[in-house]
Chain A
Amino acid sequence: MSQTTPLLLLEGVRKTFRTPDRRERTVLEGVDFRLEEGEIVALQGKSGSGKSTLLRVMAGLVRSNGGKALYRGQPIAGPVQGISMVFQSFALFPWLTVQQNVELGLEALGVRPAEREDRAAAAIDMIGLGGFEGAYPKELSGGMRQRVGFARALVMNPDILLMDEAFSGLDVLTAENLRDDLLELWRERKIPTKGMLMVSHNIEEAVYMADRVLIFASDPGRVKGEIKVGLEHPRDPDSPAFRQIVDEVYGLMTATTRTLGGAPAEPIHIGYRLPDATPNRMAELLETIAEPPFEGRADVPALAEFTELPDDSLFHLFEGLRVLGLARLAVGDIFLTPAGRAFVEAEPPERKRMFGEHLLHAIPLAARIRRVLDERRDHRAPEERFLQELQDYLSADEAERVLETVITWGRYAEIFDYDYNAGVLMLPEDDDEEPAPPAADQTQ
């Protein structure tokens, strides 16, 4: 094998799924990727952008519809022996002990009992779980469970370790510990692993661990940009150089396609993936941006620190504000638009009216729902009608989530209402009535 063959090579990978009515939905489009020996690469992007699907293509769990996926120059046609994976949910077998969980992969490969026992014991010791070999996963804390997940992956002596949000199910301190332990094993070459790829939602985590951070765009998923992290391990998250890179990643994450100089941002269509953001939280965030210390324009990393929101929920709120035209993002900054400022200055009932206007204007799905309800004599329509339409663009689960979101937004704005028991959308009871007090975006 020549020196130049990368560990993993993806070229023009494309993945489509079939919707129930036999239409194609593209999840990945033209993805190029390469993982070299000695590299840690992080993959960043909004949830639902196809990162996890991409990871599964590399793992050999999902077959791509087009393009090439090569492991050491060989096409990936199924789970490969040199690639191991650590899961967000740990994916431990609850009826197997720690030892048995770790041995499982070796057992499946037909490794002899004595040997796999030794190897598993060594892996368990290495990851710091010595003494817990006989415990069942349910007896362990979350951090210890994920350590089992790592031991199970590392005992296979993988060339490549894939991590699917491996740290996001853990509390901050535990995640930090585990990351440091893993990095130590990696730097001191205690594990034969040659390359690591992590999907992450946490920008700081990505910059802390990775040599390169790739930014992923959604619908369809593709690589939008890349940032190199040229810092020595161990890295100091408080150093100016580190903050600088974090800023860059935030900047790239918040940049719309247009500001990158590529094709103009695609117009929002009916199947647009509404972000997971509630109107109340968006309003709160707007107020935070309007007030000191930000005074209408906030540096994104600073805002993230100030609000203590996790990166992915913050980006969902940004996206919501952006599509509604209440705020705008420019490299690394978010600032209020005139509409956003007017919104902050208005009283709650007036805010609802404004929100409704922006909603009907900017979100085609909301406009469609309102029009259908207006046209129908009884002003009611079953949710399935809209769900079906959404499923042309989104998976069934996503379609449901998006409809739920637009219902929450519509209820807040009082432009339509929803009967949970009947699963029916309808116009609000009485349009002329005085709007309800602000907490109206909750069910009862």
Chain B
Amino acid sequence: MRPFLPPTIAVSQDLRPNLWDAALLPIVFGILALMAWGALQMDAPYDVGTPLPLSLDPANLPYYLLRSALRMLAALGLSLGFTLVYALLAAKVPALERVLIPLLDILQSIPILGFLSITVAGFIALFPGNLLGVECAAIFAIFTSQAWNMTTSLYQSLRTVPTDLIEASAMFHLSPWRRFWRLELPFAVPGLVWNMMMSVSGGWFFVVASEAITVSGQTIMLPGVGSYIALAIQERDLAAIGYAILAVLAAILAYDQLFFRPLVAWAEKFKFEQNAGEEAPESWLLTLMQRARFFRAAARLPEGMWRGVLNAMPRRPQRLRASASEWLLPRWLDAVWNGVLVAMLLGAVGWVSIFVHSALGWAEIFDVLWRGAVTATRIVVLIALASLVWVPVGVWIGLRPRMAGRLQAVAQFLAAFPTNLVFPVVVMLIVHFQLNVEVWTSPLMVLGTQWYILFNVISGASSLPSDLRDAAGNLGLKGWLRWKRFILPGIFPAYLTGAITASCGSWNASIVAELVTWGDTRLEATGLGSYIAAATSDGDFPRIALGIAVMCVYVMSFNHFVWRRLFNLAAERLRIG
């Protein structure tokens, strides 16, 4: 795991296994074997129309879980590859940056569940007669839920590499290739790892939602936890839902302990800080690996590969460029490129409006806009309500350091939990008490996303400087005055991060929350989410496209007119230190 080990340290007696090896070997080989076996299962013959055998027997759950976890892993790998290429192009080629960054903004606000129905047909055509196509569609859906924030993070890191380090690498003759691996990528690692963690956390929701895919009116259920749940809902099997919840909790825990803890602990060394920080995150697995002889020796393989990568590009003498880290086009080509972009933009706008207008007409468009407003209102109200509850709770917890550490992990854990699992319970409650569907399905939208508010507030409150806290106490600040002058401004940036994440997540969740089913019971609330959900299950492409486009517009305007402004305000005026 430590690719930078100087080669002198490895001596032959290092190869003798020690006690740590004994503890670690079975774990690692077990995981590898499972993954290999699970991956083999993906490649299975399949024809559209034949139902896949699926059973609610809990004994099958571990297998389904493995399949789902692998999909997640595949999507994560894909996201990482995409991130590297996309962010690098955007950061290094200004001509592409002009397109790629706004595009990323748009991609980020497209509801993921809408993607699925559009792309699945293409993927099936790609692998005729094989399940791999459907598998790819599911992985692609999870990918779209993970990639964008990772890409944004890497792009931002690449743009903020400290100038003195860039100059130092030029002074010491690092080629652009070497500079990327030695400076730019390491600098980006902590942010990237954190975003990967957030991505996977959000990804469970989509794993569950994307395994049961509807293609031309038929539902294909891929073997996995998501399909298990879908089947349980169809058959109204509450016990099976319970098992599924337990299984997903186990999977989240395993991902956290076996994958992210070690990764975060390892990424700590790339943190760009000049002083040894307070408490570094730790991972038992990483410690085990760093102490086990076998793994120290085995680390020489990735280390060798790493050196191979570093030396892969030939050295060339550097020449001065206008800017050391960018590839600029000549002026005239740049102008042509701008022209092409504008032409493409106009063409696309024209084509889409003609298409939507001829297929659906203005009345429908206004109706969809109205539904969007309804959903937006729900989200605003619910985020506000959730804030009213979780801000005080989060502050209370955050100001008690011992509790904060543990409960923050719990809140993070809850945020990862795919809440669509508990929807059936809510449906039963609504039906049982004959509640208003328009109102009572709404909480489903923030059920999963409210935790982002909680754990960000906890982290904000726990990082309030203790001298400010002492000063507030010393000045006798109490009650509302203490909140108004000290606590609320202090946690605002952190709260905002949480609220933005929660609001974006809620838009996505509205697609599954505004139209919920339990067996034959079907509850539908008016809103953009239910519109997209209904269009998706009918395979009605113009309506799906319209719904997605409108949601995209809403999310982007929210981001632009509300969140970004608040965020700038917070960043500029309220940052402590």
A94 near B270 with CB under 8 A, answer: yes
Given contacts A60-B170, A77-B320, 9 further A-B contacts (CB under 8 A): A61-B324, A79-B170, A79-B171, A85-B171, A87-B164, A91-B164, A100-B6, A108-B172, A134-B6
Q: How would residues 145 to 161 of chain A score, 1 for a CB under 8 Å from any chain B CB and 0 otherwise? A: 10000001000100000
A–B Cβ pairs within 8 angstroms, 9 of them: A60-B320, A79-B170, A93-B165, A93-B183, A94-B273, A100-B6, A134-B6, A139-B276, A152-B172
Q: How would residues 294 to 333 of chain A score, 1 for a CB under 8 Å from any chain B CB and 0 otherwise? A: 0000000000000000000000000000000000000000
Cα separation A95 to B322 with both chains bound (whole Å) = 28
Among A43-51, A109-117, A265-273, A376-384, the stretch that binds chain B is A109-117
Asked if B290 is at the interface of the complex by the 8 Å CB criterion, the answer is: no
Asked if A137 is at the interface of the complex by the 8 Å CB criterion, the answer is: yes
B173 near A79 with CB under 8 A, answer: yes
A95 near B164 with CB under 8 A, answer: no
Taking CB atoms and an 8 Å cut-off, the chain A residues in 46-67 that contact chain B are 56, 59-63
Interface of B (DSSP majority class): loop
Residues of B contacting A59 with CB < 8 Å?
Answer: 167, 171
Residues of A contacting B565 with CB < 8 Å?
Answer: none
Asked if A421 is at the interface of the complex by the 8 Å CB criterion, the answer is: yes
- Would you give the shortest CB distance from A311 to chain B, in whole angstroms? 23
B319 near A94 with CB under 8 A, answer: no
Asked if B318 is at the interface of the complex by the 8 Å CB criterion, the answer is: yes
A138 near B172 with CB under 8 A, answer: no
A61 near B276 with CB under 8 A, answer: no
Cα separation A176 to B347 with both chains bound (whole Å) = 68
Residues of B contacting A95 with CB < 8 Å?
Answer: 4, 186, 269-270
B319 near A77 with CB under 8 A, answer: yes
- Would you give the shortest CB distance from A280 to chain B, in whole angstroms? 24
A138 near B274 with CB under 8 A, answer: yes
- Would you give the shortest CB distance from A404 to chain B, in whole angstroms? 14
Q: Which of A88, A89, A108 contacts B175 (CB 8 A)?
A: A108
- Would you give the shortest CB distance from A109 to chain B, in whole angstroms? 6
Q: How would residues 100 to 128 of chain A score, 1 for a CB under 8 Å from any chain B CB and 0 otherwise? A: 10001101111001000100000000000
| Given A99-B6, A108-B172, A421-B573, A94 contacting B272 (CB threshold 8 A) | yes
Asked if B7 is at the interface of the complex by the 8 Å CB criterion, the answer is: yes
A94 near B171 with CB under 8 A, answer: no
Asked if B317 is at the interface of the complex by the 8 Å CB criterion, the answer is: yes
Asked if B291 is at the interface of the complex by the 8 Å CB criterion, the answer is: no
- Would you give the shortest CB distance from A160 to chain B, in whole angstroms? 12
B320 near A93 with CB under 8 A, answer: no
Chain B: CB-nearest residue to A76: B320
Cα separation A421 to B186 with both chains bound (whole Å) = 36
Q: How would residues 40 to 60 of chain B score, 1 for a CB under 8 Å from any chain A CB and 0 otherwise? A: 000000000000000000000
Residues of A contacting B310 with CB < 8 Å?
Answer: 107
B320 near A105 with CB under 8 A, answer: no
A138 near B6 with CB under 8 A, answer: no
Asked if A78 is at the interface of the complex by the 8 Å CB criterion, the answer is: yes
Taking CB atoms and an 8 Å cut-off, the chain B residues in 116-138 that contact chain A are none
B186 near A93 with CB under 8 A, answer: yes
B320 near A104 with CB under 8 A, answer: no
Q: How would residues 1 to 14 of chain B score, 1 for a CB under 8 Å from any chain A CB and 0 otherwise? A: 00010111000000
Asked if A386 is at the interface of the complex by the 8 Å CB criterion, the answer is: no
| Given A56-B167, A84-B171, A100 contacting B4 (CB threshold 8 A) | yes
Asked if B247 is at the interface of the complex by the 8 Å CB criterion, the answer is: no
Residues of A contacting B319 with CB < 8 Å?
Answer: 77-78
- Would you give the shortest CB distance from B495 to chain A, in whole angstroms? 19
Asked if B265 is at the interface of the complex by the 8 Å CB criterion, the answer is: no
Residues of B contacting A137 with CB < 8 Å?
Answer: 274
Asked if B358 is at the interface of the complex by the 8 Å CB criterion, the answer is: no
Residues of A contacting B270 with CB < 8 Å?
Answer: 94-95
Asked if B315 is at the interface of the complex by the 8 Å CB criterion, the answer is: yes
- Would you give the shortest CB distance from B15 to chain A, in whole angstroms? 21
Cα separation A97 to B269 with both chains bound (whole Å) = 10
B275 near A138 with CB under 8 A, answer: yes
Asked if B174 is at the interface of the complex by the 8 Å CB criterion, the answer is: yes
